[in-house]
Amino acid sequence: MLHEIEELIRIGKYREAAESIKQVENSSQVMLLKIHLYHELGDFNLQSVFSDKLISNGIHDIKILIKAYYWKAWSEFRKGNHNSAMEICELALGKLLENGSNNGNSLNVEKSHIFNALGSTYLEMGKTDKAYEYLKSALTLRESLDDNYYYLISLNNIGLYHISQGELQIALELFNKALNLYELSDNRYLPALSRVLSNMGEIYRLRREYEKSLEFHTRSFLIRKNLDNNYDIAMSRHYLGIIEFKINNLKVSKSHFIQSNKLWKQIGNDLWYSLSLLNFGRLLVKQKKNVNNVVKELNKLSRKNENPIILMRAKMLQALFLRQSSRMKHRAEAQELLLQIITLRLSDYELIHDALINYIEILFQELKMSEDDLILEEAVEKLNKLFDLTRENNLHGDFIDVLLLKSKLCEVDFDVGKATSYLDQAQILMFEKGLIGYEKYLEFARKALEKNKKKISNMIESEMTIATRLEMLDIPEFIKTISNGSQL
């Protein structure tokens, strides 16, 4: 009976599982099933309560104890408490080592669970080397076990690692392998399938193939809506909001972000809630609406958590709002806020990347009104910083953007040869990494350069100010188009 209930949870038939649990006598095994069910339903507080209760019961069965630790760690992970999740996993690992010599390979299932939880936590924290070590160990163990469900999950998670390394094609192959495994499992494991589809949607988003990304994220979302898992629904809503924003469907995007915000707040994951708020705020800025209430909510979250990333997200949104002002004072305030984000060494790549892009855009706005060479020097210095950041983090798509921007900047110095060289580098990288969606951005940059060649020839022969050069070459508008990554 317990095996049948476990299978109902795995395939997403949560109501049937809940009814079946009521019919069996309470035991440690039944408590584990309840914990798993609460996890899949996204009720991480109840999951945590039952895990604590099971752990405090003084269980002698090491397998049940390790599974209780595993689910407790996952509840902390889902709430964004990564350090707490790590501590619980390390404690479980210690228990496994204590008992391993007496149990041979009989604890391989439990080991794979803890390795998977550790790897996922390290990955979320940006510690990718450690993440790979544990995720690979979990995958190896699960490959030897006769359990397609957990092997499918491990394929998905190792795919996430490869996304973090910019190895999108390898990740896509792993996700396709997971899809094949899903089909071999009689299409049973819908919750696991929804995660694979969502991650495939993310690959296409990173490749700027927005229509394909929307297709996969929508397929995932429809499964999740039927399964009623708040965490996964919140994740789907968030990414659908981003994609709809990129293709300029602002009304649909706004609806997704509003629902995403509600769910993350309800779940209690403040890191994801703050990210969703920031992206919602970006949409309001684009609509030229006030973001004060969103900034207040972000500041409230940062005081509650004392997390610098959440505080900097609040500053980022303030900067985005201020920089659209026509008043020089407000743009200066935006610059100061962006500089705070850039100089603070955070683990949030996206935040630093966006701060640099916006800072560079403001500098070019200033150059249109000033002849100060120091402003141009600072813009070049920040662009070089962005160059290093994108290259070091293996974000090949963002690196292509930087190459296009560096190419454009060469036009200011009348260096058409160097501008062409940067575009050629971008094209090589695009083909190497299969970033098909970037082709139209590269074509846009090449056409702009070709169009400006004659202008550049005329500029060389005349003494023209930097501001005039920027305007004639459409550089501020070009930077805005490329850096936003919106659909062309």
The 10s digit of each residue's pLDDT in 53-93 is 888 887 778 888 899 999 999 999 988 899 999 999 999 98
For residues 112 and 135, the answer to whether their CB atoms sit within 8 Å is: no
DSSP state of 485: -
pLDDT for 86-114, tens place per residue?
999 999 989 888 876 555 567 888 899 99
Look at the block and give the residue holding tokens 């846009």.
Answer: 444
| Torsion sign across C-alpha atoms 72, 267, 317, 246 | positive
Nearest to 38 by CA among 27, 30, 46: 46
Cα separation, 192 vs 181, in Å, equals 11
What count of Cα atoms within 13 Å lies in the side-chain half-sphere of residue 405? 30
Cβ proximity of 175 and 203 under 8 Å: yes
Report pLDDT for 144: 87
Q: What is the pLDDT of residue 486?
A: 63
106-138 tens-digit pLDDT: 788 889 999 999 999 999 988 999 999 999 999
Q: pLDDT value at position 55?
A: 86
SS3 48: helix
Tell me the per-residue pLDDT of 161-202, one tens digit each, with 9 for 90 and over.
999 998 999 999 999 999 998 888 777 788 889 999 999 999
Q: 3-state DSSP helix/strand/coil percent for the chain, to nearest 5?
A: 80, 0, 20
Q: Which helix (H) or strand (E) holds 12?
A: none
Structural domains in the chain, CATH included, are 1-104 (1.25.40), 382-488 (no CATH)
CA distance 80 to 75: 9
Question: In terms of pLDDT, which residue wins out, 296 or 408?
Answer: 296
Tens of pLDDT along 408-462?
Answer: 888 878 889 999 999 999 999 999 998 989 999 999 999 988 888 877 777 765 6
Q: How far apart are CA 224 and CA 221, in angstroms?
A: 5
Does the pLDDT of residue 364 top 70, yes or no? yes
Q: Work out the mean pLDDT of the chain and round it to a whole number.
A: 89
The answer to whether residue 10 scores a pLDDT higher than 70 is yes
Residues 6+ apart with CB under 8 A from 455: 472, 473
Mean pLDDT value of segment 367-376: 79
DSSP states of 133-169: HHHHHHHHHHHTSS-HHHHHHHHHHHHHHHHHTT-HH
Amino acid at 44: F
Q: Which residues make Cβ contacts (< 8 Å) with residue 372, sequence separation at least 6?
A: 366
Contacts of 8 (CB under 8 A, 6+ apart): 14, 16, 17, 20
Q: How confident is the model at residue 476 (pLDDT cuts 50, 70, 90)?
A: confident
